[in-house]
Amino acid sequence: MTMRRRSFLAATAAATGLASFGAHAQQPVTKLLVGATPGGGTDIVARSLAIEMSKLLGRQFIVDNRGGAAGNIAALAVAKAAPDGNTLLLSYTSHAINASLYPSLPFDPIKDFTPLSGIASLPAILVAKPSLKANNVKELIALAKAQPGKLNLAIAGIGSANHLAGEMLKREAGIDIVSVPYKGTGPALADVVAGQIDLAFAGVATVQQLIKGGLLKPLAVTSAQRLAAYPDVPAVAEVLPGYAYSSWYGLFGPAHMAAPLVAQLSGAARAAVTSDALKVRFKDEGLVAMGTGPDEFDKFVRSEITRWGKVVAATGAKPE
């Protein structure tokens, strides 16, 4: 054997060995599907969760954005995926709302999924342009009754939790406020800040800087009680008992996942929620940690589907 041939074979063997080592060392990958575009609230929560779960399980979690159809595109992909833990769904309240908002879905929101963990809830704040002659929801109701049809409310996404929260406020208070649809929260809030629109519902993190800067005025929160970050802002429920419409984020897998895998993924998700990194992130985003297990989250999702179904029916909401 010539020196050149021995060198070639040695190099080939080395390359093969390195390739085998690389393949062996490569972490398994789990796709975490999100039914929204990058940069939004669901995407931010998904990416934060993916980082922590990657650390805890020693496998890579990659966020895969599948926006469109109010989250149904991503949900369908997970419903059809193999139940091997390699494809999961980080969903929003829309998972429960869509069950009644859409006349027919290509999947069953209960039967086609394995609930793994409730991640966090997100109360909203009802904000107003600073010049509005109402400083809380009680004064708003009085103003709206004195001027029926004169006030308007920006709606960022037909059929969204914040849209339905607004419709239920009008219904339960018996007031006539005109809803104005927008394609996103940004344009909606921009018009409230500019004084072209009177009111809007938005997540805490979305408006906190605008409130601090005096560009928006907080009137009420949609959680059952006041928020620690806004102790002077009353809950709508203080005027309309029983009113509580917070959004939430939850982790699902496809149906028929093995029990040990469910326990592993759910445990990691709950550990991630209590990590220092997510505690800081949740605080910054105005989120309230849930960290519930599969059984509790399953009961919660079922109850949410029933509750939002009644809201959809009461408001007559239709998908865009």
Domain boundary among 238, 273, 306: 238
Is the same domain home to 138 and 99? no
In the numeric block, which tokens belong to residue 69?
């159809």
Domain boundary among 210, 238, 266: 238
Angle at which helix 94-101 crosses helix 161-173, to 10 degrees, equals: 70
CATH number at residue 189: 3.40.190.10
Domain boundary among 195, 219, 238: 238
Helices within the chain (DSSP H only) = 3-25, 41-57, 72-79, 94-101, 137-146, 161-173, 185-193, 204-212, 259-273, 276-285, 294-315
Helices within 232-293 (DSSP H only) = 259-273, 276-285
- Check if the beta carbon of residue 178 is closer than 8 Å to that of residue 141: no
Which amino acid, 154? A
In a domain, 148, yes or no: yes
In a domain, 171, yes or no: yes
Please state, in angstroms and rounded to a whole number, the distance separating the CA atoms of residues 261 and 80.
18
- The reply to whether the predicted model has a pTM over 0.85 is no
Residue 26 confidence (pLDDT): 63
CATH number at residue 48: 3.40.190.150
Instruction: Give the model confidence (pLDDT) of 206-226 as tens digits.
Output: 898 999 999 999 999 999 999
Instruction: Name the residue with higher pLDDT: 246 or 170.
Output: 170
Is the same domain home to 165 and 271? no
Is the same domain home to 234 and 128? yes
Tell me whether strands 113-122 and 247-254 are parallel, antiparallel or unpaired: antiparallel
In a domain, 308, yes or no: yes
Q: Which structural domain, as residue segments, surrounds residue 46?
A: 27-122+247-315
Please state, in angstroms and rounded to a whole number, the distance separating the CA atoms of residues 94 and 314.
17
Which amino acid, 6? R
Is the same domain home to 92 and 64? yes
Is the same domain home to 93 and 130? no
- Check if the beta carbon of residue 278 is closer than 8 Å to that of residue 72: no
Element (H, E) at 106: none
pLDDT above 50: residue 11: no
pLDDT above 60: residue 280: yes
Instruction: Give the model confidence (pLDDT) of 91-139 as tens digits.
Output: 999 999 999 999 899 999 999 999 999 999 988 999 999 999 999 999 9
Q: What is the DSSP letter of 237?
A: G
Tell me whether strands 288-292 and 113-122 are parallel, antiparallel or unpaired: antiparallel
Residue 74 pLDDT grade (very low, low, confident, very high; cuts 50, 70, 90): very high
Per the structure, the count of domains in the chain is: 2
- CB proximity list for 10: less than 8 A, separation 6 or greater: none
- Residue 48: Cβ-neighbour burial (10 angstroms; 0-12, 13-18, 19+): buried
On average, the pLDDT of the chain sits at 89
In a domain, 5, yes or no: no
